[in-house]
Amino acid sequence: MSVQPRVVRGVGLLLAGAALQSLFSGVLALFGSGLMLVGWFLLGSYLTATPARHWKVINIMIRLFGFVATTVGTAFIAWAIYYRLHPERVQLDTNIFIGSIFLDFFLVGGVAVGIGLGFLFAPARRPDLGDHVLSDRAMRLLRGLPKNWARPGVPGREFRTWWTGETRSPHEPSRGL
């Protein structure tokens, strides 16, 4: 399998832009932002060339965001516990919103973990395979439909992979969440 030149250019521009942003300030950092934007565009136009590939990438990004948010939230909760066990380590000039740095860190961590788990446990959506973009609950809320209204289910939805939403054989064992 050969690597597309668009992918090589996209990765190169991303790396060059990140280097300019981290090493310089001012105009060169802004130029680095532009390079990163063009690099993302080149990669995105290759990765999302077909609807199937587009929705696979979207579902993978949703899962990765869920992992990152859960990890960051867990780190905030760990710092909250650390500051609760060692209050002498808290600097006096630290900005506190609620009145306790423990509560501040714990609430931010709890919200981040909740959002991350929501993204991790959300079902993979694949409109190219017949899935609906909005859930039945959202449709009822937006259109004022009765509470017992529901669309017919998509056949084969229970045989989708967690990571990308690809259809798998009903005889294949489930891997993942």
For residue range 75-113, list pLDDT tens digits in order.
999 999 998 898 887 776 666 677 778 888 899 999 999
Helix or strand holding residue 150 (H, E): none
**92 domain residue, yes or no:** no
pLDDT the model gives residue 90: 73
pLDDT at 53: 81
Say if 106 falls within a structural domain: no
How does residue 162 score in pLDDT terms, banded at 50, 70 and 90? confident
Q: Quote the crossing angle between the two packed helices 27-47 and 5-23, to the nearest 10°.
A: 150
Determine, yes or no, domain membership for 38: yes
CA distances to 144, 146, 155 from 150, rounded to whole Å, are 13, 9, 15
pLDDT at 151: 66
The fraction of the chain above a pLDDT of 90, given in percent, is: 19
Domain limits for position 21: 1-47
**HSE toward the beta carbon, residue 57, CA cutoff 13 A:** 12
Structurally, the chain folds into a number of domains equal to 1
Q: Which of 142, 149, 80, 154 is nearest to 110 (CA)?
A: 80
Q: How many CB atoms lie within 10 A of CB 35?
A: 20
Residue 41 lies in a domain: yes
Structural domain contains residue 3: yes
Note whether residue 135 is domain-resident.
no
- The pLDDT value recorded for residue 120 is 93
* 26 within some domain: yes
pTM here is: 0.66
